[in-house]
Structure 1
Amino acid sequence: MASSTQTISRLTTLWETPKTVYGWFATVDHKTLGIRYLVTAFSFLVIGGLEALVMRLQLTRSDMAVLTPEEYNQIFTLHGVTMIFWYASPILSGFAVFLVPLMIGARDMAFPRLNAFTYWTFLLSGILLYVSPLIGQAPHAGWFSYVPYTLTKYSPGMGMDFYAASLVLLTISTTGGAINFIVTILRLRAPGMAISRMPLFLYSTGTISFVILFSLPSLTANCIFLELDRRWGTHFFRIAGGGDTFLWQQLFWFFGHPWVYVIFLPATGMLSMIVPVFSRRPIVGYPFVAIATVLTGVVGFGVWLHHMFTVGMSDIAMSIFSAGSMTVSVFTTIQVFAWLATIWRGRPVATASMYYAVGSIVLLVIGGLSGVFTGVIPADWQAHNSYFVVAHIHYVLIGSNMFPVFAGFYYWLPKMMGRRMNEKLGKISFWVMFIGFNLGFFPMHNLGLLGMPRRIYTYPAGAGFDGLNELVTFGAFVLGIGILISIINFFHSLRAGAPAGENPWNADTLEWSTTSPPQVYGSEHIPVVVSRHPLWDEFEEEDDPDDDRVLDWGRLTPTTTALDAIPAGIATIPADSLAPLWMSLALFAFFLFVIYQMLWWMVASVIVTFLVGCYWMWPHVEKEVVE
């Protein structure tokens, strides 16, 4: 379809954010916000990784004194919460914020200002967490923060208050993002993109968005209850006041195990996009992979008690949750076999992205098998609270999150920055990371079976742990070097990389039909989809001088029906605004005042939040371009 210079000029005027200080803070462009998510979350990965290396120095040999016990506990806690909450899920949100509108042919997310709000809240929640070590008040009870150790009797400082407040602020961000993804995926898909034609990444992102809505409130409630018990005289967890310490574990793991799939499923969705492209054929078993993705999210809610097999419960309860643990592994197995069959029946191309994808499958299988092991009740009793569990969680979270994320970087960064990454450096980075990871974490299985407990800052000489721990520390530093190689590759390619072009990988999904990087308005014409592989199928659209799919008379994008993507209307996309940043700052102030128990300032920040919300929702005349 012939491009019109006049049309492109109108669309650019409508959608472009001013290149000013105001524009930088006020932008609601999903592409800019997606990149900010990625940069911020990757920064938290680097911070969490450095914390891990410091811990490994402490544990290299017995009776080391690199850290005091309290310093170790603080770094251990910051590492855990940073990696699980501020890296693993937000990095996937960054990909989704950037890619989902492009994949579905929309001009932006359904709620662009909410999109900006969730980014600023995510950033400020991380800042709130890291204020604590700067003032010597870091949390010290682990990412799980079991009571009663986290109550004021055993944790009298403000560290656990920072933990609770920053997590509640983060859950506000994550919940807003989940709502935005659900509405965007269900109602803004291009005409013809029925749910049976959606890219599998949309199934995984949509599934975890629903999981977030049902699981995250239990974490929010838990943190609120903890803060009320600590500073406001309630008794949710205080046994002397009629509370129950096991309430924390029940609520925490009701959130905690579904969260595993929140930081796992979008990454598997990325693999389901990358593996077919570099296998040069459609994915095997598309319907089965889609159904398995959804069922993983559903059945994942019936697994949380397998974290609590050792606390004492009835045999029938343990048996039910053990069966759930076995059942949920079947759905992951379906995806693994689909990827392997796709590679086997295709013509694989050995790119850096494909290296990371295949490496991720290997690590996911190892982590999945050890997970089934911990779902067997007698085995779990023996391995619980040992380094075997540490090995399992890192194989699952790094194997099924970080390696797919790097596969995604090498695959989609050319689309984001317009230049290709260096393939040779990418492959070197993969092998260094893969070898370092396995050297660092596989021996932890052996350490756990030898009896090394988790969550300890040192161990006695003669316990037989020294040799394996030296190997683990060496592997951790090798893994860090591998990550550093990719960081160097990124900055080098940003300036000297080969131009990417629109579709350097000959991929099949709509984001590759746009320029690299994409224009501010995405696609000039709203696409029409007739299959699952719109860029691989021969489908020619006729030029139409009266084409009504340009939508260049305002900030507009079409809406479609949820199931069959039949055109249903046109949505107006709000323009740039500072309101999301103001509201985020007001909430940040509110939680800071909660920590310091400044009641009247808390009330003032609530009032400011309400007023900003009124301004945000007040009708505004959106910009239009009239010829």
Structure 2
Amino acid sequence: MSSGLSYWIFGRLEWSDLLIKSNAIATGASCMVVIVAIAIVALLTWTGRWGWLWREWLTSLDHKRIGIMYIVISFIMMARAIAEAMVMRTQQAMAAGGGTDLVGAQHFGQLFTTHGTVMIFFVAMPFLSGLINYLLPLQIGARDLSFPFMNAVGLALTWAGAVLIMVSLTVGDFSTGGWSAYPPFTELAFSPGEGVDYWIWSVMLTGIGTTLTGINFAVTIYKERCPGMHLMRMPLFCWTALCTAILMVFALPPLTVASSLLALDRYLDFHFFTNGSGGNMMNYANLFWLFGHPEVYILILPAFGVWSEVISTFSGKRLYGYRSLVLATMCIAVLSFTVWMHHFFTMGQSANVNAAFGFATMLIGIPTGVKVYDWILTMYRGRIRFSAPMLFAITFLFSFVVGGLSGILLSNAPTDFAMHNSLFLVAHFHNMLIPGTLFGFIAGYMYWFPKAFGFRLDERWGRIAWGLWTAGFFAAFAPLYSLGLMGAMRRTSQTYDPAYEPFLYVALVGAALLFAGFVALVVQLVVSTRHRDRLAVPIGDPWDGRALEWFTPSPPPEWNFARLPQVECIDAFAREKREGDPYAPQDGDYADIEMPRNTGLPTLIGMAGIACAFGLVWHIWWMAIVGFVAMWGFLVARSFESRTTRTIPAATVREANEAWLSRARMARAVPREIEFTAANTGRAEPLA
């Protein structure tokens, strides 16, 4: 085959780019991806589940199924990110003081780039999107999100970006430019390979998907609330979801613009961010962090909503200071757009500019402090149950304050000058994001799992997971504060000061404990699934919940509510349990319900997106063009679908709802003392 024909068909892709990597660790990871993919295909084929997967999941527009798929993506990518963290910590500990290398510097650069990219864009973002997707319509008394098809497209673009990231393990190499991809290092002159292109197109896909998702969440809250559900009657989780959605809509476009301009530099020889020809890399830094700091609050605000629900429920009290928490959430969302420049105090702007952004950074700590005090006061004199989600909440309160104080230190520009590129900064942002975001999402997963699947997670393994995650977090990141103050720099595969070595080994032990914590979550899921009959909670309210999602069976029907609820106060379900009988027979007629009809077009859009992005990465231009045209073609095809809804008969709704109400009335109301036993079938005894 001639070289010209080969390039037209395969672009820059060569046999040497496939599977075999520069060292045994990378090759093993590459082979593992292929083996796992083959195993999944074989399992689905052997069990005859392809049709089920397509009909029930990949073509579904049900917000609940889409939410679950987001969270599945998150857990899969979390496994990769934690494994990469383990390799990085092992490399740094082994190579300390001139010791043996486990991986080379080039591979280490790929590891810290993929670790950050995966954790931000493909673990935290899908997890929060999944939780909001599942819970938002249930909490506001709606049947679905406003735009179910757009919701499925957002999911498809997210998993397309995740697949592209996983493909980079097997085909070619990933970027070494860090999760922020700063030029000029990521320009062609310094990174001529495919790595940066993988980063650009994976982030581009998920960024567009997330923007669509944010629009959908905001419109749903504005337009789909049930009768009586005023904004100030919404659960706090809905308020955090609303502010997150607004941040998504306004913060993701700067990222899309920055990555697009970087792509133009690399593909068409533009000079937006090059050192010469009129380019200025500071334009990229400003664009990226105009997204990047609001992104921190996109990640953490939904977790704040989770903490509000968990602490209130397991304290047996109404949330203290609801209005102040709402105002604090809105203040954080607004102020998040005023602090981006503290990410580059060291890049040459004037002292006055640094002072202004440093002041804004300190200011954002005030509404955050309000939240912490409100959560503590919610617990005060409450009847606290130390469930696994509540244990994660207590860990969060302590460690988040410590991380916040380290952030206040770094808001001072001279202090930041000394520590900006050190491991102190790594300790700070992990101190915020792991307890604040990741622990929040794990707690939310444990808390709402019974609602989604109809059975509780095993409490014993939940507490084991909490112990391992907590011990691992402190062991992994507390030493980094000391190392940073001692002068240890981040993103270095080797250190030559022997004084660093003990701290690095402690951090390695912490990373191993975090990995064990993830394994404990997997074991918890397996054990719980095996014992799901004993852990079943079909009535739907195992924790004495307060919001409307607990006034549905577990799992909820496709239509969520047989009749849309009428709300007269905050915590409407808790009030109904105290003052009436929510499970009493319901008078009146039932009506037919229209729900969105399944469609495979979003999945096809995602597959076309993968083809387009892969073609762009490897300069396989025919594949990129076909994929791009196919994406838009499938989108246009949606406009020709005339049957986009289906009707669920009133008789079907009546039968399902009255069977659930009858079962709920016959169920025993379980007191808190035995809520973790088989006696709990989902009807918790409400507090007097």
TM-score by length of 1: 0.91
Match of 1:587 among 609, 621, 624: 609
Other-structure match for 1:613: 635
Q: 2:571 is aligned with what amino acid? A: H
Deviation at 1:358, TM superposition (A): 1.2
For residue 246 of structure 1, report the CA deviation from its aligned partner: 1.1
Does 498-507 or 190-199 show the bigger shift? 498-507
Task: Identify the match of residue 536 of structure 2 among 495, 499, 503.
Answer: 499
Shift of 1:435: 1.3
Change beyond 3 A, Cα 1:344–1:105: same
Counterpart check, 1:34 vs 2:67? yes
Aligned to 1:58: 91
Q: Distance in 2 between matches of 1:408 and 1:231?
A: 42
Contact 1:303 1:321 in 2 (8 A): yes
Indicate the larger mover: 536-545 or 525-534. Answer: 536-545
Match of 1:521, SS state, is coil
How far is the alpha carbon of 1:539 from its aligned partner? 5.1
Deviation of 1:585 after TM superposition, in Å, equals 2.1
Provide the residue aligned with 2:463 in structure 1: 427
Q: Does structure 2 conserve the Cα–Cα contact (< 8 Å) formed by 1:45 and 1:83?
A: yes
User: In the alignment, is the contact (CA less than 8 A) between 1:417 and 1:494 conserved in 2?
Assistant: no
What pairs up with 1:171-250 in 2 under 5 angstroms? 171-250=207-286
User: How many angstroms apart in 1 are the aligned matches of 2:58 and 2:368?
Assistant: 41
Q: 1:523 aligns with which of 556, 561, 570?
A: 561
Q: Determine which of 505, 508, 511 is the counterpart of 1:473.
A: 508
The one-letter code sitting in structure 2 at the alignment partner of 1:363 is S
Q: Secondary structure of 2:554's match?
A: coil
Is the contact between residue 113 and residue 576 of structure 1 (CA under 8 Å) also seen in structure 2?
no
Using the TM superposition, name which of 479-488 and 444-453 deviates more: 479-488
- The corresponding residue for 1:534 is 572
CA distance, structure 1, for counterparts of residue 284 and residue 430 of structure 2: 24
**Matched ranges for 1:559-574 at <5 A:** 573-574=595-596
The structural deviation recorded for 1:551 is: 3.9
Distance in structure 2 (CA, Å) of the matches to 1:504 and 1:250: 47
> CA offset at residue 461 of structure 1?
4.3
1:441 aligns with 2:463: no
How is 1:90-105 mapped onto 2 (pairs within 5 angstroms)? 90-105=126-141
Deviation at 1:183, TM superposition (A): 1.1
- Distance apart, 1:540 and its partner CA: 6.1
The DSSP-based 3-state class of the residue aligned with 1:281 is coil
Kindly indicate whether the alpha-carbon contact (under 8 Å) linking 1:420 and 1:493 is maintained by their aligned counterparts in 2: yes
Structure 2 CA distance for aligned equivalents of residues 42 and 316 of structure 1: 44
CA deviation digits over 1:207-253, x for unaligned, max 9? 01111111111111111111111121111012321110111111111
SS of the residue aligned with 1:322?
A: helix
The alpha carbon displacement at 1:609 in A equals: 2.6
- CA positional deviation for 1:341: 0.5
Q: Does the CA contact (< 8 Å) of 1:443 and 1:472 recur in 2?
A: yes
1:382 and 2:418 correspond: yes
Structure 1 contact 367–392 (Cα < 8 Å) conserved: yes
Q: Is the 8 A contact 1:162 1:595 kept in 2?
A: yes
Contact 2:325 2:370 survives alignment (8 Å): yes
Q: Deviations over 1:299-335 (max 9, x none)?
A: 0100000011111111221111001101111111010
Query: In structure 2, how many angstroms separate the alpha carbons of the residues matched to 1:545 and 1:409?
Result: 35
Query: 2:110 is paired with a residue of what secondary structure?
Result: helix
User: Superposition pairs for residues 305-384 of structure 1, below 5 Å?
Assistant: 305-384=341-420
The DSSP-based 3-state class of the residue aligned with 1:240 is: coil
Between stretches 60-69 and 367-376, larger displacement belongs to 60-69
Letter of the 2:305 counterpart: G
The alpha-carbon distance between structure 1 residues 625 and 144, as it changes in their structure 2 partners (threshold 3 A), is closer
Q: Which residue of 2 aligns with 1:70?
A: 106
Q: Aligned letter for 1:355?
A: L
Alignment partner of 1:48 out of 57, 81, 93: 81
Query: Aligned partners of 1:397 and 1:212: how far apart in 2?
Result: 18
Q: State the TM-score, normalized to the length of structure 2.
A: 0.83
**Displacement of 1:130 after TM fit?**
2.2
SS of 1:623's partner is strand
Which letter maps to 1:110?
S
Structure 2 residue 292 is matched with structure 1 residue 270: no
Question: Could you tell me how far apart the structure 2 residues matched to 1:87 and 1:263 are?
Answer: 10
Native 8 Å contact 1:38 1:91 kept in 2: yes
**Contact 2:312–2:378, Cα closer than 8 Å, also in 1:** yes
Change (3 A) 1:602 1:424: closer
Per-residue deviation at 1:104?
Answer: 1.3
Using the alignment, how far apart are the partners of 2:349 and 2:442 within structure 1?
41
| 2: CA distance, partners of 1:482 / 1:600 | 45
CA contact (8 A) 1:440 1:474 kept: yes
Match of 2:521 in 1: 486
For 1:480 and 1:591, locate their aligned partners in 2 and report how far apart those are by CA, in whole Å.
Answer: 32
Any conservation in 2 of the 1:121–1:173 contact (CA below 8 Å)? Answer: yes
Q: Secondary structure at the match of 1:527?
A: coil
Query: How many Å separate the matches in 2 of 1:120 and 1:253?
Result: 26
**How big is the shift at 1:447?**
0.3
- Matched letter for residue 26 of structure 1: T
CA distance in 1, matches of 2:253, 2:580: 45
Shift of 1:436: 1.6
Residues 172 and 194 in structure 2, CA contact (< 8 A), matched pair in contact too: no
Residue 133 (structure 1) shift: 2.6
1:336 is displaced (CA, Å) by 0.4
Looking at structure 2, the residues matched to 404 and 290 of structure 1 have their Cα atoms a distance apart, in angstroms, of 18
Residue 39 of structure 2 corresponds to none
Aligned residues of 1:367 and 1:399 also touching (Cα < 8 A): no
Please give the root-mean-square deviation of Cα atoms over the aligned residues, in Å.
1.7
Distance 1:358 1:403 in 2: 10
The secondary structure found in structure 1 opposite 2:569 is: coil
- Give the conservation status (yes or no) of the 8 Å contact 2:62–2:148: yes
Cα contact 1:55–1:72 (8 A) shared by 2: yes
Deviation at 1:518, TM superposition (A): 1.2
The separation in 1 between residues aligned to 2:457 and 2:359, in whole angstroms, is 44
Counterpart for residue 187 of structure 2: 151
1:509 paired to 2:547: yes
Question: What 5-or-longer segments of structure 2 have no aligned partner?
Answer: 1-50, 652-688
- Cα pair 1:122 1:170 within 8 Å, conserved: yes
Corresponding position of 1:558: none
Sequence identity (%)? 33
| Structure 1 residues 551 and 185: alpha-carbon distance in aligned structure 2, compared to 1, 3 A threshold | farther
CA contact (8 A) 2:117 2:179 kept: yes
Match of 2:325 in 1: 289
The answer for unaligned runs of 5 or more in structure 1 is 1-17, 556-572
Q: Counterpart amino acid of 1:615? A: A
> Would the aligned equivalents of 2:184 and 2:275 in 1 still touch at CA under 8 Å?
no
Distance 1:612 1:129, change over 3 A: same
| Conserved? CA contact 2:156–2:605, under 8 Å | no
CA distance in 2, matches of 1:41, 1:594: 25
Alpha-carbon contact 1:305-1:318 (below 8 Å) kept: yes
Moved more, 468-477 or 20-29: 20-29
- Distance in 2 of aligned mates of 1:425 and 1:586: 41
- Give the partner amino acid of 1:206: L
Indicate whether 1:623 and 2:635 are aligned. no
Query: In the alignment, residue 495 of structure 1 is paired with which amino acid?
Result: R
| 8 Å CA contact retained: 2:163, 2:610 | no
Offset of 1:583 from its aligned partner? 1.9
Point out which structure has higher relative CO (alpha carbons under 8 A, 6+ apart). Answer: 1
On the 8 A contact 1:386/1:452 being kept in 2, the answer is yes
- CA distance 1:509–1:245, shift in 2 (3 Å): same
Query: Counterparts in 2 of 1:130-145, with a 5 A limit?
Result: 130-145=166-181
